[in-house]
Amino acid sequence: MDHPLNSRISLRHRLRQLILMRETGPKRPAWHMRRMRMIWELHDQIAALDGGDTPMFPQTLQSYLAPHLDTYIEELRQLCAIECPTDSKAGVDEAGEWVARWGRRRNWEVKRWKDDEFGDSIAFTILGKGGPRILLAAHLDTVYPVGVAAERPMRIEGNTLLAPGACDNKSGLLSALYAMMALEECGGLGHIGAITLLCGSDEEAGMKVSLRAFAELAPQHDVAFVLEAGRENGDIVSARKGGGNFYFEVQGKAAHAGVEPHKGANAIVQLAHQSVALHALNGMRPGVTLNVGVVSGGTVSNAVPDRASAKIDVRIVDPADQAPVEQAIRDIGAQVFVPGTSTTVTGGIRVPAMACTPTIAALAELTKHCAVDLGFTTNDAHTGGMSYANFLAEQGLPVLDGLGPVGGNDHSPNEYIDIDSIVPRTALLALLMTRVHTVG
State pLDDT tens for residues 326-338.
999 999 999 999 9
CA 174/CA 102 separation, integer angstroms:
10
Would strands 229-230 and 404-408 be described as parallel, antiparallel, or unpaired?
A: parallel
Q: Is the CATH code 3.30.460.80 the one for domain 242-351?
A: no
Q: Which residues of 72-108 are buried (b: 16+ CB within 10 A; e: fewer)?
A: bbebbbebbbbbbbbbbbebbbebbbbbbebbeeeeb
The pLDDT, as a whole number, for residue 206 is 83
The pLDDT, as a whole number, for residue 45 is 73
The pLDDT, as a whole number, for residue 58 is 83
Whether the ω angle into residue 159 lies within 30 degrees of 0, i.e. cis, is no
Can you tell me whether residue 341 is helix, strand or coil? Answer: coil
The pLDDT, as a whole number, for residue 25 is 55
Residue 249 to residues 294, 307, 310, 331, 343: CA-CA distances in angstroms? 12, 7, 7, 14, 6
**Residue 194: which residues within 8 A CB-CB, separation 6 or more?**
125, 126, 127, 128, 133, 134, 221
CA 316/CA 249 separation, integer angstroms:
23
CA 409/CA 168 separation, integer angstroms:
9
The pLDDT, as a whole number, for residue 42 is 73
Q: Is the pLDDT of residue 8 over 80?
A: no
Task: State the chain's mean pLDDT as an integer.
Answer: 91
Among the listed ranges 7-21, 77-91, 202-216, 269-283, which one has the minimum average pLDDT value? 7-21
Q: Region 116-132: what's the mean pLDDT? A: 95
Among the listed ranges 22-36, 144-158, 274-288, which one has the minimum average pLDDT value? 22-36
State the burial class of residue 370 (Cβ atoms within 10 Å of its Cβ: 0-12, 13-18, 19+).
Answer: buried
The pLDDT, as a whole number, for residue 190 is 85
Q: Region 302-329: what's the mean pLDDT? A: 96
The pLDDT, as a whole number, for residue 396 is 93
What tens digit of pLDDT does each residue of 285-304 get? 999 999 999 999 999 999 99
The pLDDT, as a whole number, for residue 217 is 97
DSSP-assigned beta bridge partners for residue 344: 249
Written in H, E and C, the secondary structure of 420-434 is HHHHHHHHHHHHHHH
What tens digit of pLDDT does each residue of 193-230 get? 999 999 999 999 889 999 999 999 999 999 999 999 99
Give the ranges where 161-207 is alpha helix by DSSP (H).
Answer: 171-186
The pLDDT, as a whole number, for residue 59 is 78
Q: Is the pLDDT of residue 427 over 90?
A: yes
The pLDDT, as a whole number, for residue 371 is 94
Q: What is the DSSP string of 80-144?
A: HTS--BTT-HHHHHHHHHHHHHHHHTTT--EEEE--SSSPPEEEEEEE-SSS-EEEEEEE--BSP
CATH hierarchy code of domain 64-240+354-438 = 3.40.630.10
What tens digit of pLDDT does each residue of 12-39 get? 677 767 766 655 555 555 666 677 667 7
